[in-house]
Amino acid sequence: MRRPQFSGDLPPNLVADTSVIINLNATGAAHEIIRSLNVKLSASTVVRDELIHDRISGRNDADLAQRLVQDELLQFAEFDEKSGAIFESLVSGTAETTLDDGEAATLALAVSSQGLAIIDERKAIRIATHRFPTLQLLATVDLLRLDRVLLALGNERLAKAVISGLKDARMAIPERHHGWIADLLGDQIVECRSLPAALRRAPA
């Protein structure tokens, strides 16, 4: 069974992985971006415990996430019996078939709540596609390129936010979004060394 395509309509329960919260923090516009989506993100308490003070960037993702919680843009959730069982099944087994705790917790919450998982890591996407074929998956950049985010930030600020996410969090950009990134960033794309070299050299 093929994974359902994203229609552009966001369900009420969006479950974010650790890297997604880090990416949004790194944009410098997390509050505006989430508000423009008109949702409250959910994440596991396992994810909460993975957020730390990044010594390299100086960004404290744990503190920034708590500000999102205080502004009712993010909530952390504990496992119930169902999600706990799914989590255990995702972290038990061989290295090829299991995930890190944060990714496993994100998928467990999304599946148990019939929500949508926002996750960037390729292995997690591969395993989720195999294990949970009806689960809808998005990447951070799927959110950033929604029209409502562009309307909230404007083109120039959106480009600045994406560049910050790329530089400060090495935000993953799936190949399907390379054209959009090149159009959005223009000549500034050469600054984003986390992107493939061929994309940075491509004419805008």
Q: When comparing pLDDT for 2 and 108, which is higher?
A: 108
Task: Report, as an integer, the average pLDDT of 135-146.
Answer: 96
Q: Residue 143 corresponds to which amino acid? A: L
Q: When comparing pLDDT for 135 and 202, which is higher?
A: 135
What's the token pair of residue 26? 């790194």
- Mean pLDDT in the chain? 93
Beta strand spans in the chain (E)? 14-16, 41-44, 74-77, 116-118, 136-138
What's the token pair of residue 126? 């591969």
pLDDT digits (tens, 9 = 90+) for 34-90: 999 999 999 999 999 999 877 777 899 999 999 999 999 999 999 999 999 999 999
Spatial separation of the C-alpha atoms in residues 68 and 39, rounded to whole Å: 12
pLDDT digits (tens, 9 = 90+) for 91-128: 999 999 999 999 999 999 999 999 999 999 999 999 99
Above 90 in pLDDT, residue 201?
Answer: no
CB neighbours of residue 126 within 10 Å? 10
Task: Report, as an integer, the average pLDDT of 3-21.
Answer: 82
CA distances from 71 to 14, 34, 93, 193 (A): 17, 11, 39, 33
For the entire predicted model, the pTM comes to 0.93
According to the model, what pLDDT value does residue 1 have? 46
C-alpha 96, offset from chain centre: 22
Q: What is the DSSP letter of 141?
A: H
According to the model, what pLDDT value does residue 5 have? 53
Residue with tokens 């730390």: 52
Closest of 37, 29, 40 to residue 8, by C-alpha = 37
CA distances from 58 to 25, 26, 126, 135, 164 (A): 12, 11, 32, 35, 13
Q: What is the DSSP letter of 9?
A: P
